[in-house]
Amino acid sequence: MSHPFEIEQEIVLPTDPDQVWEAIATGPGIESWFMGRNEVDPREGGTAVMDVGGNREEALVTAYEPGKRFATRTGTAADGRFMAFEYLIEGREGGSTVLRVVHSGMLGDDWQDEYDALRRGWPFHLHTLREYLTHFRGRTGRPVFAMAQTGERPAPRVRAALARGLALPAGIAVGARAHAEPAGLPPVTGEVTWSDEERFEVRTADGLYTFHHAPGLVLMFHHLFGPDAAATAAEAGWQQWVADVLAEH
């Protein structure tokens, strides 16, 4: 049985409304902080597409008011499920912008778990958006996705393996320094900017690296602010890195 939901979040961003609009309403902008590869047909009635690891989802653009409002809605599934996203932009004096996000729709039978996961995820995604607009403004991020099965390993063991692979202390606190050398890629050195029970993020001079450990899975959503070729090679490199890290621990 489907169940309605709504999540509302608000954040102050250190840039003007036009730059926030580019980040939330264009394919390259979305790819610089959110998930997967994205395309946006820039008009009301157009199509917005997100592809994460080969899973493609299309949505209808239901509002397109540059610098003010952008909204999308997926189609309704047979069981009544759908997702709707609305972004509302308001400029502030001093060059900052308030962004309000409303995520609503219908969830399935296990709606409570889905809702809790979405509710926990949005503060992190908006943190990543702020990191992007603060440290990589004007640059285009290339998405890198990799994943690995963790089997029956308990979550603390998986998190500890990721921490060791990044030369991080087991606690993975914000401000800790990370270092990794994925095979075939330049060394990665940076600072932890977010850490909760499910995920953590490392910011380097040229990228934002997210490590998410869900039951049975490790998911990596990275954003690289360099050449396209570097992002293409990085997917294979990080896929091998996570396989090696889990095999060792």
Same domain membership, residue 222 and residue 157: yes
**End of a domain among 135, 170, 185?**
135
- DSSP SS3 for 22: helix
Helix axes 111-135, 17-25, angle to 10 degrees: 130
3-state SS of the chain: helix, strand, coil percent to 5?
Answer: 30, 40, 30
pLDDT of residue 214: 85
pLDDT of residue 46: 98
Instruction: With beta carbons less than 8 A apart as the criterion, state whether 145 and 52 touch.
Output: yes
pLDDT of residue 76: 93
The rounded distance, in Å, linking the Cα atoms of 42 and 226 is 25
CATH of the domain at 225: 3.30.530.20
pLDDT of residue 226: 79
Same domain membership, residue 122 and residue 7: yes
Residue 236 lies in domain: 142-248
**End of a domain among 89, 119, 135?**
135
Same domain membership, residue 205 and residue 127: no
Same domain membership, residue 36 and residue 65: yes
Nearest to 215 by CA among 77, 128, 122, 110: 110
The rounded distance, in Å, linking the Cα atoms of 12 and 20 is 10
- Cα–Cα distances in angstroms (integers) from residue 211 to residues 38, 95, 159, in the given order: 20, 32, 9
Same domain membership, residue 234 and residue 129: no
Collect all residues with Cβ–Cβ distance below 8 Å to 79 and sequence separation of at least 6. Answer: 2, 108
Same domain membership, residue 193 and residue 154: yes
pLDDT of residue 115: 75
- Both structure tokens of 241: 């890195």
Same domain membership, residue 186 and residue 107: no
pLDDT in tens, the chain (249 residues): 678 999 999 999 999 999 999 999 999 999 999 999 999 999 999 999 999 888 899 999 999 999 999 999 999 998 889 999 999 999 998 889 999 999 999 887 777 778 788 899 999 999 999 999 999 998 999 999 999 999 888 888 999 999 999 999 989 999 999 999 998 888 999 999 999 999 999 999 999 999 999 889 999 999 999 776 567 789 999 999 999 999 876
Same domain membership, residue 106 and residue 22: yes
**End of a domain among 135, 166, 191?**
135
Q: How many domains does the chain have?
A: 2
Same domain membership, residue 8 and residue 131: yes
pLDDT of residue 1: 63
Instruction: With beta carbons less than 8 A apart as the criterion, state whether 87 and 96 touch.
Output: no
